[in-house]
Amino acid sequence: MTLLEIEDLEARHGLLNAVRGISFVVGEGETIALVGANGAGKTTMLRTIAGAHPASGGRVLLAGEDVTGLPAHRRVARGMALVPEGRRLFPDMTVLENLMVAGRRARSGGWDLERVLGAFPMLKTLTHKRASDLSGGQQQAAAIARAVMTNPRVLLIDELSLGLSPVAVDAVYESVTALIEGGATVVLVEQDLQRAMSVASRVLCVLEGRVALEGRTADVTRDQITAAYFGVKSASPADPRPANLETT
């Protein structure tokens, strides 16, 4: 079942056309990784899908409903949750308070405080600690947990591992993997290609606001993705020959 459908989506920052006619679909229970260089349009795309940035064209459909004109909070009520780049926790609130704020806006569903803390075990001993006092990895876990508290049908995660230590990345990915194995539908922006491909069923490489490559992670090579990432060569998942990049 198609849960999220993006049709010819466009978004602007003033005169800059940051997202240029992007289309893709996400099936229920699927994990999509969005990869690409800085400035490729990934964050703007995710924010536009979530309603945090206005679309200048195209449509966003959630479970067949056109939500393009809805503000972010109404999309949350329909089952779309965004974990923004930089986490954006309430710094003076405790972890528990951050989670409960989201819980008060939650849809009906199976994610309550006990289950969320079970999925993010690193937070169990931190519930009464202020968000501003957490490490980067703890903040990222709290931000994802806060989004899950809304009982989303689609979870959008921007820059999942950006700025985190390897140990923190391992812990965060362990929790995200548990969500995915539990049937969550996830669209994530990730700079770490190896990490992205380890959890995603499909990968979309974005270049200058457009999809440069799309395919199942089992069907594309790192060379093909890297070539699309830099716009070096057009590479199709159907092409068994890997794209070659010269490195220095």
Q: What is the pLDDT of residues 33-67, one digit of tens each?
A: 999 888 889 999 999 999 999 999 999 999 999 99
CATH of the domain at 190: 3.40.50.300
Assess if residue 198 is contained within a domain: yes
Mean pLDDT of 70-91: 90
How many domains, the chain?
Answer: 1
Question: Which two three-digit tokens encode residue 28?
Answer: 């229920």
* Residues 183-219: tens digit of each pLDDT: 999 999 988 888 888 999 999 999 989 999 999 999 9
Assess if residue 239 is contained within a domain: no
Assess if residue 56 is contained within a domain: yes
Poorest-pLDDT segment among 93-97, 164-168, 233-237:
233-237
Assess if residue 242 is contained within a domain: no
Average pLDDT score over the chain: 88
The pTM score is: 0.87
235 has pLDDT over 80 = no
pLDDT value of position 27:
95
Assess if residue 122 is contained within a domain: yes
Mean pLDDT of 95-105: 88
% of the chain at pLDDT higher than 70: 94
Question: Which two three-digit tokens encode residue 236?
Answer: 């199709």
pLDDT value of position 20:
93
Question: Which two three-digit tokens encode residue 127?
Answer: 């519930």
Look at the alpha carbons of 19, 57, 30, 219 in this order and tell me if their dihedral is positive or negative: negative
Kind plus residue range of the DSSP H or E element containing 155:
strand 154-157
pLDDT value of position 244:
36
d(CA 236, CA 221): 10
Per the structure, the complete domain to which residue 151 belongs is given by 2-230
* Residues 104-155: tens digit of each pLDDT: 777 778 888 999 999 999 999 999 999 999 999 999 999 999 999 999 999 9
Residue with tokens 């459909």: 61
Rg (CA), the chain: 18
pLDDT value of position 216:
93
pLDDT value of position 237:
53
DSSP code of residue 91: T
